[in-house]
């Protein structure tokens, strides 16, 4: 299993943003049993899928003017300001 960082920008406003964001985040939760989400448009997931497979699985949930970035974690990380629960997850999976 590998850890991946998923980042996205949905370029809509108001209700259109909320609806698009909900569809995408629901799909991420459906695809990945182990995930971390403490930043607005950033997720960390643990999976056997490749970065391209993750991108392809999420691609239909964003429009052509939105952005999606999937990066395999290099396991070198530092952070600040997260709850004990958030920090614990990062220590366990990064």
pTM: 0.89
Dump pLDDT digits (tens) for 34-91: 999 999 999 999 999 999 999 999 999 999 999 999 999 977 889 999 999 999 999 9
Q: Which residues of 44-75 are buried (b: 16+ CB within 10 A; e: fewer)?
A: bbbbebebeebbebbeebbeeeeebebeeeee
Helix axis angle, 51-58 relative to 14-31, nearest 10°?
130
CB atoms closer than 10 angstroms to residue 85: 10
pLDDT for residue 75: 76
Domain of 62, in residue numbers: 2-93
Q: CA 87 to CA 34: how far, in whole Å? A: 15
DSSP state of 1: -
Q: What is the total count of domains within the chain?
A: 1
Across the range 18-44, mean pLDDT stands at 96
The CATH number given to whatever domain includes residue 58 is 3.30.70.240
pLDDT of 76 reads 85
């Amino acid at each position: 299993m590998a850890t991946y960082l998923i980042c996205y920008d949905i370029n809509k406003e108001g209700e259109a943003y909320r609806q698009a964001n909900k569809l995408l985040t629901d799909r991420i939760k459906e695809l990945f049993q182990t995930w971390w989400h403490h930043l607005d448009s950033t997720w960390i997931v643990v999976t056997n899928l490749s970065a391209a497979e993750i991108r392809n699985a999420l691609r239909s949930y964003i429009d052509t003017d939105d952005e999606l970035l999937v990066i395999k974690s290099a396991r070198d990380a530092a952070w600040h300001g997260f709850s004990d629960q958030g920090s614990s997850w990062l220590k366990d999976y990064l």
